[in-house]
Structure 1
Amino acid sequence: GVGSYSSGPVILMAWLLGIKIALHEQNILPGITNRMLSYFADRIYVSFEKTKKLAHPEKVFVSGNPLRKEITDIAENNITDYGLSKKAFTVLILGGSQGAHSINIAIIDALSNIKNKEGFLFVHQTGSSDTETVAKAYAQHKISCDVKPFFDDMATKYSQADLIICRAGATTVAEITVIGRGAIFVPYPFAANDHQTQNAKALCDAGAAKMITEKDLTGKILAEKIEYFSENKQELSKMASLAKTFGKPDAAAVIINDCYKMFNI
């Protein structure tokens, strides 16, 4: 089971039938379904070391979060293509598959505060509703950009980024840590149990990322952070290296192999 209410009846029926049960929790804070089902589980796979303290430690295995092959290939082959242009500091902006309106608005406000505009390239996934408005803002400030509602080639975008500005969902955090990039997280404030803030905090506490809460998000603050890291690349590189220590590119294989052992296969 991977959480959500739909897994509850299936897991409980498996327990009644004597079938082995494994759960996977992507976020640092287990959701209510996984918390309830943890009592019936034989193994609980988690993505963060800190989650061990919140679950049944004797059942917990820190596996990481399984990711798409094109993402893990970047990590395994150590692919680094910082910046689409060697002269431009490349900022990748993501708001999840639907975009994030608050991040889009903050970026629009930030553009007027960025001084060395010709020194940047913004690669911006806006979601479907803000694409035209965001693209016009970049054009108005004559800043190089690649603006689309959604990017299909995320592995390429990650490999080309110097700095990433994004939400802190479990998959996004896992992708960033596996690839090893410096990130400024803007957690979605209405996530269950505020788990995105906790996901981001796990990295921030280790110096592996920065976080701006949505209530503190302004164009001025964002511009200051972007300019700071563009001028302090050594610090950004250190942050990226620390982020990579959280990455687990072999998460899928680890889970499969451990399940085989559990089933004595």
Structure 2
Amino acid sequence: MSDGIKALPKLILLSAGGTGGHLFPADALAQDLISRGYRVALATDIRGKRFEPFAGGIPVYVLNSGTIGAGIMKKIKSAFSLGMGFFQARKLLADLKPAVVVGFGGYPSVPGIYAAQTMKIPTIIHEQNAVLGRANVFLAPKAEKIAVAWAHIEGLDNADENRAIVTGNPVRSDIAGLYNKPYPTIEQDGPLRIFITGGSQGASVFSEIMPEALARLPAHHRERLDIVQQCREEDVERVKSIYDAAKIKSDLRPFFKDMALQLERCHLFIGRSGAGTVSEVTTAGRPAIFVPYPHHADQQQKRNADAVADAGGAWVMTQNGFTPEALLARLETFLQNPETLFRAAENARSCGRPDAARKLGNIVMAIASGWDKHPQG
């Protein structure tokens, strides 16, 4: 290096599917790495390009990708798209020269990670769910490290387990900051604040079941409720009219940008059990009723929810079992015995990992620097 020319900080390339479940933990890691002085870039699909400013506006590169759908023609089309993405990724890697490539799952992560592995660039994969996703199953054998969110992950073979490190699932700093904040007091006859979301798709099942169940509560219970609920745009007016008629206080929106604030103020969370949601709810130490999305082939949301329920921090209701009658019985128990929620809150918090981004960042830094062949987070 000639005098007066300083070397640029090392670049870490993140490779992730274009949905919030993959991008939120990638964003949390990006913020941690930037704070350590690294340069960071993201490779994703076109959906990820539309993600709100990623880690303060780092470079985002779109690679061809595809999900492996049913039917021979869909499989051929997806394979062709992934192949195109692989060659795009090789060119991108040759240009960027990253020190490490970190994958966060989803088929759009495959081209970047697989290309890096063929080019002998160190790779790390992160699994957010309690079961290894199909993309990560394919990529795991040649990854230097496999970072996992849970102590017990289905789908890891014995060889993979030797390279697995439990980091937890990285959450945004505003969520991590809730870990040490106390659970809000439930005063006798005071408000019970319930936060309800429907996941990235705003599942309409919650807009159908929640208002019907809550409207059946006795008047003295209804007047205590403070409902904050995510609804699809087309459902807001209908759901609001039911709550208003039942004299239930409600705040309904298609999307909440203030997730940390809503988790901080709520006494109970009700919603899907995607990896990101479960990580945020447990880090905040909030008891939950989880209704797993029922149509994943590997039932990943059920496994995520079960992990928290087994610790005593949540209750799991199947979508078929999520009826107004069943929910009504559960809520009446909470209203009559709020100590049930206090105990569950502590158990939920025991599942939270507010330092997951730092732990994953330590692994990245160790491999990028060549300090430790076996970093332990």
TM-score, structure 1 as length reference: 0.93
Are 2:131 and 2:154, in contact at CA under 8 Å, matched by a contact in 1? no
Query: Quick check: 1:94 aligned with 2:201?
Result: no
Which residue pairs with 1:7 in the alignment? 109
Query: Which secondary structure state, in structure 2, belongs to the residue aligned with residue 260 of structure 1?
Result: helix
| Long gaps (5+) in structure 2 | 1-102, 372-377
Structure 2 counterpart of 1:71: 175
Aligned partner of 2:237 in structure 1 is 132
Kept after mapping to 1: 8 A contact 2:183/2:342: no
CA distance in 1 between counterparts of 2:185 and 2:194 reads: 10
Q: Which of these residues, 275, 280, 288, is aligned with residue 183 of structure 1?
A: 288
Alignment match, 2:216 = 113
Whole-angstrom distance in 1 between the partners of 2:317 and 2:280? 19
Q: How has the CA–CA distance of structure 1 residues 234 and 84 changed in structure 2, closer, same or farther, with 3 Å as cutoff?
A: closer
For 1:86 and 1:73, the matched residues in 2 are separated by 29
| 112, 122, 125: which one aligns with 1:20 | 122
Q: 1 CA distance for matches of 2:205 and 2:133? A: 25
- The CA distance in 1 between the partners of 2:137 and 2:228, in whole Å, is 38
Greater alpha carbon shift after TM alignment, 80-89 vs 107-116: 80-89
Equivalent residue number for residue 30 of structure 1: 132
Are residues 84 and 121 of structure 1, via their aligned partners in 2, closer, same or farther at CA, if it must alter by over 3 Å? farther
In 1, distance between residues paired with 2:115 and 2:155? 27
Query: Which position in structure 2 is the counterpart of 1:104?
Result: 207
Instruction: Kindly report which structure 2 residues correspond to 1:166-205, keeping only aligned pairs within 5 A, or say none.
Output: 166-205=271-310
Deviation (angstroms), 1:82:
5.1
Q: Which position in structure 2 is the counterpart of 1:249?
A: 354
Q: Percent identity?
A: 35
Counterpart contact for 1:22–1:43, Cα < 8 Å: yes
| Shift >6 Å, 4+ stretches | 83-86
Compute the TM-score of the two structures, normalised by the length of structure 2.
0.67
Residues 24 and 86 of structure 1: CA distance in aligned 2, closer, same or farther (over 3 Å) = farther
For the pair shown, which has the larger CA radius of gyration, 1 or 2? 2
Contact 1:92–1:161 under 8 Å retained in 2: yes
Q: 2:163 corresponds to which letter in structure 1? A: K
Deviation at 1:246, TM superposition (A): 0.9
- The residue matched to 2:298 in structure 1 has which SS? helix
Distance change (3 Å), C-alpha of 1:38 and 1:13: same
Whose RCO is larger (CA < 8 A, sep 6+)? 1
Return closer, same or farther for 1:80/1:216 CA change in 2, 3 Å cut-off: closer
Q: Displacement of 1:250 after TM fit?
A: 0.9
1:167 and 1:187 in contact (8 A); partners too: yes
Matched, 1:228 2:333: yes
* Secondary structure, counterpart of 2:226 in structure 1: strand
Q: 1:44 is matched with which residue?
A: 146
The 1:102–1:160 alpha-carbon spacing in structure 2 relative to 1, beyond 3 Å, is same
